[in-house]
Structure 1
Amino acid sequence: MKLDTLITEPWADYGLVDSGHGRKLERYGRFSFVRPEPQAMWAPAAPTWKHDGEFLGASDEEGGGRWHLNGNVPRDWPLGWQDVKFHAANTPFRHLQFFPDMAPQWAWMRDRIAADDEVMNLFGYTGVGSLALAAKGAKVTHVDASRKSVEQGKANAAFSGMADKPIRWMIDDATKFTAREVRRGRRYAGIMLDPPKFGRGPTGETWRLEEGLPGLIEDCVRLLDRRSKFLVLTVYAVRMSALAIAELLRQATADLGGTVEAGEMAVREEARGLLLPTAIFARWSGGQ
């Protein structure tokens, strides 16, 4: 299988300014921050960076460490991507309350949906992806185990002028919710899922990616049919190959027809145009 690279290009409210020596400098609206980045093994373009804060972390990709911020950084601030508005914030998990490298996936899905298509966003976090699809007329089921994330998603919807859009905000364990949807006989035009390496559900359920992903993908496929349009899987921070998740998706969707593609996700650096890899992906697209 040929592997592709999905590239996030800079936009008005986000850009990878520079990277190197295990760190990266990014701009989020009017603020710039430095975060650890083990894959930036090269030298940076500039010897010093001007920034508004830096995350100094432990080696654990899922947490540990803390932000050291200048006094001018507020608790949150507004950003936008195309017709979606939302708030960024410095979280204890080193990210900024959304994942900018998902932008090419959002655009790809938006090109495939039609008004009133029903789509599901599993591990939907603060809802930027859900709003990107709702803005194009999709009916969205947004699922995340974190009440705080779902409440932030609702706040983002209101801020974006989409409080009245048909979005079901579900605080639930993604695996259990998907299994219930299968039993209900539901069908979706598209599903996207961005599972963590490890997580806990709202009532203490434990999620481990390598153990839970195959069964979850099987249930997701049971919610699709030959009229469905996509299934998008992105995976971060694991020792796993794009070829592995592509084969998982290819086998699971064999009876649906369509095509599977896979590869890496990357962000283009503004300083030199080089690509910083961030994640792997596999996605199925049905016949349209």
Structure 2
Amino acid sequence: MSTANQSEMNSRQYSNAWSDYELLDAGDGKKLERWGKVITIRPEIQAHFKPEWSFAEWQDLAHWQFEEISSTQGEWKKLKPQAPEQWGISYESLNFGLKLTKFKHVGLFPEQQANWCFIKEHVSAGQKVINLFAYTGAASLIARANGADVVHVDSVKQMLTWANENMERSQLTDIKWVLEDALKFARRELKRGNRYDGIIMDPPAWGLGAKGERWKLENQLPDLLEAAYGLMNPGGFLILNTYSPKVELADLALCAKQYFSANQVQIKELWMMSKTGKALFYGNILRAIK
């Protein structure tokens, strides 16, 4: 293997399938996934290669196919008469409720499995963890299952409700739910003097705030890292996911350099292999230990 290829492989972090989730195939701008017994076809901008299986084979397997109406919304097409609109899957001891949404998501980002492993390895009972832009709570549940005191922050009420239901499904209790803009809440925590042993951030690439303000991750990245560093206890960890095509590994390294030394930081591309051997890119991740 050439030095360039070796360097490329070293910069990759692969998430793994598990019994209730598989990336079956990918290509032609789509991905074929199995969630428990339900199989979906969803758009995937990074699948800019040819799939291993024909699209006819995909449709023969799948229960649902998401068809885009605009760049942000679409609708689900039922491919099997008995296809459920809501169902559940498990990951280790945790249980998640899944359902079809108009944004193509079903309630879980399985490519985060590599980060779930990192959280499980680095969190112990009694530690304080804050999950910002926390969605339906997989990372919060992983930390709570390890005994951490968890603060879960999201600006969408329906996501907090969904996450709370997942907590109850998983027979966990006492996650603190915060309905708030994540960065604003983090800054208030700084002023209050609250500190954490784990900071988890999964910000959107872009979007609109509660008052119509525009959010672009590439513009907010320095502020996010500044807040995260301030909230970290010595020895604490940070996980920052970036799905934005405008945030590259070099951008993360440049921002991280202001707060962490080289031996404190790990910056990787997040990938997953399909059952058919296709490698699919999911964005970049920064992990740091203070």
TM-score normalized by structure 1?
Answer: 0.90
1:152 positional shift: 0.5
The whole-number CA distance in structure 2 between the counterparts of 1:105 and 1:128 is 10
- Counterpart residue number, 2:268: 263
CA 1:258/1:171 → structure 2, altered by over 3 Å: closer, same or farther? farther
Question: Which range moved further: 263-272 or 120-129?
Answer: 263-272
The whole-number CA distance in structure 2 between the counterparts of 1:141 and 1:203 is 24
- Counterpart residue number, 1:5: 12
Contact 2:12–2:268 (CA under 8 A) maintained in structure 1? yes
Q: 1:174 aligns with which of 177, 182, 187?
A: 182
- Counterpart residue number, 1:251: 258
Amino acid at match of 1:263: K
Q: Please provide the CA RMSD for this pair.
A: 1.9
1:154 positional shift: 0.5
Moved over 6 A (4+): none
Amino acid at match of 1:285: I
Q: 1:193 aligns with which of 196, 201, 220?
A: 201
- Counterpart residue number, 2:4: none
1:64 positional shift: 2.2
**Residue 57 (str. 1) matches residue 68 (str. 2):** yes
The whole-number CA distance in structure 1 between the counterparts of 2:97 and 2:195 is 32
- Counterpart residue number, 1:118: 128
1:49-93 deviation digits (Å, cap 9, x = unpaired): 121111111562xx2222112442323111111121111112111
Question: Which range moved further: 51-60 or 98-107?
Answer: 51-60
Which secondary structure does the structure 2 equivalent of 1:74 belong to? coil
1:152-187 deviation digits (Å, cap 9, x = unpaired): 00011111101x2x3111000011100100000111
The whole-number CA distance in structure 2 between the counterparts of 1:234 and 1:123 is 10
1:41 positional shift: 2.4
Amino acid at match of 1:241: E
TM-score normalized by structure 2?
Answer: 0.90
The whole-number CA distance in structure 2 between the counterparts of 1:151 and 1:8 is 27
Question: Which range moved further: 129-138 or 191-200?
Answer: 191-200
- Counterpart residue number, 1:148: 158
Which secondary structure does the structure 1 equivalent of 2:11 belong to? strand
- Counterpart residue number, 1:209: 217
Question: Which range moved further: 14-23 or 173-182?
Answer: 14-23
Identity across the alignment (%): 32
The whole-number CA distance in structure 2 between the counterparts of 1:181 and 1:205 is 22
Amino acid at match of 1:173: D
- Counterpart residue number, 1:87: 97
Question: Which range moved further: 140-149 or 71-80?
Answer: 71-80
**Residue 276 (str. 1) matches residue 284 (str. 2):** no
Contact 1:243–1:262 (CA under 8 A) maintained in structure 2? no
Structure richer in helix, relative to its length: 2
Q: 1:36 aligns with which of 27, 37, 43?
A: 43
Q: 1:130 aligns with which of 129, 140, 144?
A: 140
Amino acid at match of 1:195: P
1:20 positional shift: 1.6
Amino acid at match of 1:27: R
**Residue 23 (str. 1) matches residue 30 (str. 2):** yes
Contact 2:120–2:146 (CA under 8 A) maintained in structure 1? yes
Amino acid at match of 2:186: T
Amino acid at match of 1:9: N
The whole-number CA distance in structure 2 between the counterparts of 1:148 and 1:193 is 19
The whole-number CA distance in structure 1 between the counterparts of 2:104 and 2:258 is 35
User: Alignment length, in residue pairs?
Assistant: 278
1:142 positional shift: 0.4
Amino acid at match of 2:252: I
Contact 1:84–1:131 (CA under 8 A) maintained in structure 2? yes
Q: 1:67 aligns with which of 66, 76, 95?
A: 76
- Counterpart residue number, 1:159: 169
The whole-number CA distance in structure 2 between the counterparts of 1:236 and 1:187 is 26
Which secondary structure does the structure 1 equivalent of 2:102 belong to? coil
The whole-number CA distance in structure 2 between the counterparts of 1:131 and 1:170 is 15
Which secondary structure does the structure 2 equivalent of 1:227 belong to? strand
The whole-number CA distance in structure 2 between the counterparts of 1:66 and 1:239 is 27
1:197 positional shift: 1.7
